[in-house]
Amino acid sequence: GSQLLLPFPWPTLTDAQNEGLVKQRALTKTFDFEVLSLDPDQLMYIIFDILSDFNHLQVFKINPDTLRNFIGTVRNAYCSNPYHNWHHACDVTQTVYAFLTYGDGAKYLEPIEVFSLLLGAICHDLEHPGVNNAFLVTTGADLSLLYNDRSVLENHHCAQAFRIFKDPHINVLA
């Protein structure tokens, strides 16, 4: 089975990192945001901003430290493969956020639906190994056996999200 990775300390940004972050923060609610212009530490700040928008911290009584722990744990649960990595998760999350804000999508949803969409976006490819379901099934990979050859990666990503939510220091749903 997979092992839950504990978060590392919240990163402190250098002056240069802060300068780059300021420019992209202004674009977070648009489709002009450039995820690849930011490093993984800067992206943690962007994701914190996104997940705490819509007054989510107040509405759902989420401790900011719990949200930081959640973000650090999710970041650690992404593998460093060429595509399904932390940058990809942040790109998908920011795009969903742009649809909710710039595209006004949030006005049609309840707060729990908005928060759920954002959590689903950031967790959607947790521990993605960089290969597809057909490869896992054909090679008889352990993940394929665990999920009985059915929607192997989708089941795994979802299971990993629920593993994260089990820890009260990380669970933003508690």
Q: Which residues belong to the active site?
A: 84
> Which distant-in-sequence residues (6+ apart) come within 8 Å of 60 by Cβ?
111, 112, 115, 172, 173
CB 52 within 8 A of CB 115: no
Q: What is the DSSP letter of 138?
A: H
Task: Report how far residue 115's alpha carbon sits from residue 110's, in angstroms, rounded to the nearest whole number.
Answer: 9
Any residues with CB less than 8 A from the CB of 91 and at least 6 apart, and which?
A: 35
Q: How far, in Å, are 12, 19, 166 from residue 15 at the CA level?
A: 10, 6, 36
Task: Give the separation between CA 61 and CA 56, rounded to whole angstroms.
Answer: 8
